[in-house]
Structure 1
Amino acid sequence: MAEASQVTIDRPLRIGDLAALTSTTPRMLRHYENQGLIAAERSPSGQRLFAPAVIDQVRSIRRLLKAGLPVDAIRELLDCIHDTDLLEPCAVPLLVEHLHAYDGRIAELTTTRDALQGLIDASSQ
């Protein structure tokens, strides 16, 4: 059986099908849609129908979320995503901004950790 990433799909996908192909849940896909990260058409009966290209969009969104980016940042990067495994150069400034923010948080946490360790060490003597 071919993996979902190797299957060519040329029809709109219902939310359950998209969830199965992207290892996510319909609830998460509705959240992505509500946040403006993906779009769906509606069938005459009101079901969400997603274009096959949304498969790669969802995979990219999940990868960016896993990297620690907030939904607002991902929304800004949507035009810089043309390949699931590669971001366009237009993504770099925003990624650098978030990297610096994480570096600052890490430095603050390291300082806090060192202060706590100092209190522990002083109490153990």
Structure 2
Amino acid sequence: MKIGELAARTGVTPRLLRYYEEVGILHPFRSGNGYRTYGEPAVERVLQIRELLEAGFTTEMIREVLPCLADSDQRAISDCPVVADLDGLRHQLGSIERRIDTLQRNRQAIKAYLRAWEDAGA
């Protein structure tokens, strides 16, 4: 697929996709005329990049950890190069875990509210 289609499917601008290529976290194929083309896995990769950015990862950290996240069954972890900034990754992990805890508490509160509302016959 071309860059415009990838942009449409992921909600990421073509300019940002080109930036991801520039910093080494997205790797398009180049056709004979130099146009960028992307395989189907690029959709998931871009969404993964967005999630990591939203979690507070820098593009440098993403470049280091993406190879480790490539295989969903974790086989690639053993082949993953040592990440240079382990303290930064630990900090990000702690931040993600705090966000997950907060989301779980919010979910439980909303569920309790909905149950109470439904039990009251509203």
- In the TM superposition, structure 1's runs of 4+ consecutive aligned residues that sit over 6 Å from their partners are none
**What is the rounded CA distance, in whole Å, between the counterparts of 1:80 and 1:15 in structure 2?**
25
Distance, in Å, in 2 between the alignment partners of 1:40 and 1:62 is: 17
Partner of 2:89: 95
1:61–1:74 contact (8 Å) kept in structure 2 = yes
1:98 deviates by 3.5
* TM-score, reference length from structure 2: 0.60
Residue 79 (structure 1) aligns with: 67
Assess if the C-alpha contact under 8 Å between 2:55 and 2:92 holds in 1.
no
Say whether residues 1:31 and 2:19 are aligned partners: yes
Q: Find the partner of 1:69 among 57, 60, 63.
A: 57
> How many corresponding residue pairs?
86
Q: State the Cα distance separating 1:87 from its structure 2 match.
A: 9.2
Q: Give the Cα–Cα distance (whole angstroms) in 2 for the partners of residues 75 and 42 of structure 1.
A: 20
In the TM superposition, what is the alpha-carbon distance from 1:97 to its structure 2 partner? 3.8
SS at 2:25 equivalent: coil
Contact 1:80 1:87 in 2 (8 A): no
1:96 aligned partner, one-letter code: R
Alpha-carbon distance between aligned partners in 2 of 1:37 and 1:58, rounded to the nearest angstrom: 9
Q: Distance in 1 between matches of 2:47 and 2:68?
A: 14
Which has a greater percent of strand? 1
Match of 1:40 in 2: 28
1:55 shift after superposition: 0.8
Once residues 87 and 72 of structure 1 are traced to their aligned partners in structure 2, the CA distance between those partners, rounded to angstroms, is 24
What do residues 66-121 of structure 1 show as CA deviations (whole Å, max 9, x unaligned)?
Answer: 011100000011112237xx795958x55314456x7xxxxxxxxxxxxxxxxxxx
CA RMSD of aligned residues (A): 2.6
The 8 Å contact of residues 15 and 50 in structure 1, kept in 2 or not, is answered as yes
Percent identity between matched residues is 38
- Gaps (5+ residues) in structure 2? 78-82, 96-122
Give the structure-1-normalised TM-score.
0.59
